[in-house]
């Protein structure tokens, strides 16, 4: 038995003896000496716990952890292949539960509407499910597992969380669904009242301002990747998770203001939203160009520390990541523009129908007035 195992066995015996002794003393109440003896055993057991912190466990000696295992929590020695990117799933403990809660709540709301006889567009359901499917795929599949290993794969997950998934999620209209499905309370505010209060809260109005949403959406790229922030965040799991959550939230906020099916606290006319999209597009494209032309390596300490044998040329991989950012960012922008134009056409169509109904009412009233005048003359 190793010294670590011997110390662990002695500590366990001392703590068990102290525990049973204290329990027996409390039942018998036989005096102070047994209590002092039990407290002494407890102190010795606690000292053994402190001694274990100074000894190296045998597993660390016989099977030392690699650098990826120390930084990421798992090994990345196996080279990336298409089969591993698609099949090496490792469920993300943040985004998988979040997706399950969001999808379950959404489907329950749709079921409540349909049981009540109300209609909810199937296209919105499909958009919501597809958006969360993208989130789960890029964080829990082999793509999410290998993304911390190279900059190019990281940029794929970044674009998916910041551009592709949010466009689909905002087209699902979750806030409108919540307002229609949640019951209205009387005297005591319920969930529906909380949603309404949150929509009109000052913090929501601030972040839903078009300028704020656009700055957070585009400015995050430059601040994160052209400073030391990205390299520092990749060294810690909690910071990496927070970064991915930031991608998703800022992307959702921008897409909500631009083309969201839900009404924002600061509604914009369609022409202003179209101008907002065209104003943001050059900044995003310029970001990809800067990445492709950047000579210094981003997060050099982190990637050199990993030293993955299959990573290849890190600068070439960074240029590839810039190309991915430039190319994949244009596709969601086109989708946003198309979605906005479709919404614009549908709104104009609804306004035209309302105007026609109003015109028919005026025409009927005019005919009724003429008929009344004719009856008076007769």
Write the Ramachandran bin of 197: left for phi over 0, alpha for psi from -120 to 50, otherwise beta: alpha
pLDDT at 324: 87
Distance CA 169, CA 162 (A): 11
**In this structure, are residues 118 and 176 in contact, taking their beta carbons and an 8 Å threshold?**
no
Summarised one tens digit per residue, pLDDT across range 9-38 is: 666 666 666 555 555 545 455 555 555 565
Distance CA 35, CA 31 (A): 7
Summarised one tens digit per residue, pLDDT across range 226-241 is: 888 988 888 888 888 9
Classify residue 352 by burial, with Cβ atoms within 10 Å: 0-12, 13-18, 19+: exposed
Beta-carbon-side half-sphere exposure of residue 118 (alpha carbons within 13 Å): 10
Tokens of 200: 């009109």
The structural domains of the chain, with segments of one domain joined by +, span 3-64, 91-341
Q: To 10 degrees, what angle do helices 314-377 and 151-159 make?
A: 10
Write the Ramachandran bin of 73: left for phi over 0, alpha for psi from -120 to 50, otherwise beta: left
Summarised one tens digit per residue, pLDDT across range 172-192 is: 989 889 888 888 766 666 777
pLDDT at 130: 94
User: Which of 2-6, 164-168, 195-199, 261-265 shows the highest mean pLDDT?
Assistant: 164-168
Tell me the CA distances in angstroms from 244 to 53, 135, 137, 220, 324, one per residue in order: 34, 10, 13, 12, 17
First CA to last CA distance, the chain: 120
User: pLDDT over 90 for what percent of the chain?
Assistant: 16
**In this structure, are residues 115 and 107 in contact, taking their beta carbons and an 8 Å threshold?**
no
Q: 66-70, 107-111, 261-265: which has the minimum mean pLDDT?
A: 66-70
Q: Quick check: pTM over 0.85?
A: no
- Count of CB atoms situated within 10 Å of the CB of 161: 25
pLDDT at 228: 87
**In this structure, are residues 106 and 174 in contact, taking their beta carbons and an 8 Å threshold?**
yes
pLDDT at 352: 59
Task: Encode the chain in three state secondary structure.
Answer: CCHHHHHHHHHHHHHHHHHHHHHHHHHHCCCHHHHHHHHHHHHHHHHHHHHHCCCCCHHHHHCCCCHHHHHHCCCCCCCCCHHHHHHCCCCCCCHHHHHHHHHHHHHHHHHHHHHCCCCCCHHHHHHHHHHHHHHHHHHHCHHHHHHHHCHHHHHHHHHHHHHHHHHHHHHCCHHHHHHHHCCCCCCCCCHHHHHHHHHCCHHHHHHCCHHHHHHHHHHHHHHHHCCCHHHHHCCCHHHHHHHHHHHHHHHHHHHHHHHCCCCCCCCCCHHHHHHHHHHHHHHHHHHHHHHHHCCCCCCHHHHHHHCCCCCCCHHHHHHHHHHHHHHHHHHHHHHHHHHHHHHHHHHHHHHHHHHHHHHHHHHHHHHHHHHHHHHHHC
**In this structure, are residues 140 and 69 in contact, taking their beta carbons and an 8 Å threshold?**
no
């Amino acid at each position: 038995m190793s010294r670590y195992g011997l110390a662990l066995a002695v500590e366990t015996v001392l703590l068990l003896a102290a525990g049973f002794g204290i329990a027996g003393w409390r039942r018998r109440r036989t005096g102070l000496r047994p209590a002092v003896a039990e407290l002494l055993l407890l102190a010795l057991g606690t000292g053994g716990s402190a001694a274990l912190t100074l000894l190296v466990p045998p597993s660390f000696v016989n099977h030392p952890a690699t650098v990826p295992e120390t930084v990421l929590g798992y090994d990345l020695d196996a080279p990336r292949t298409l089969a591993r990117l698609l099949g090496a799933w490792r469920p993300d403990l943040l985004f998988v539960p979040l997706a399950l809660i969001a999808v379950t709540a959404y489907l329950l709301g749709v079921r409540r509407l349909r049981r009540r006889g109300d209609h909810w567009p199937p296209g919105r359901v499909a958009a919501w499910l597809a958006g969360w499917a993208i989130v789960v795929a890029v964080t829990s599949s082999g793509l999410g597992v290998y993304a911390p290993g190279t900059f190019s794969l990281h940029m794929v997950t970044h674009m998916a969380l910041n551009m592709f998934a949010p466009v689909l999620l905002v087209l699902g209209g979750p806030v409108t669904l919540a307002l229609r499905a949640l019951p209205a309370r009387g005297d005591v505010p319920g969930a529906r009242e909380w949603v309404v209060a949150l929509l009109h809260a000052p913090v929501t109005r601030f972040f839903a301002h078009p300028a704020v949403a656009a700055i957070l959406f585009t400015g995050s790229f430059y601040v994160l990747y052209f400073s030391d922030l990205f390299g520092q965040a990749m060294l810690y799991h909690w910071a990496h998770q927070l970064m991915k959550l930031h991608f998703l939230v800022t992307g959702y906020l921008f897409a909500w203001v631009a083309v969201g099916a839900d009404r924002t606290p600061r509604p914009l006319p369609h022409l202003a939203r179209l101008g907002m999209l065209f104003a943001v597009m050059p900044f995003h494209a310029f970001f990809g160009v800067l990445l492709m032309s950047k000579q210094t390596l981003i997060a050099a300490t982190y990637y050199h520390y990993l030293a993955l044998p299959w990573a290849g040329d890190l600068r070439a991989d960074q240029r590839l990541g810039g190309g991915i950012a430039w190319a994949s960012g244009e596709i969601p922008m086109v989708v946003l523009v198309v979605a906005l134009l479709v919404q614009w056409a549908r709104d104009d169509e609804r306004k035209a129908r309302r105007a026609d109904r109003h015109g028919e009412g005026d025409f009927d009233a005019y005919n009724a007035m003429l008929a009344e005048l004719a009856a008076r003359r007769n």
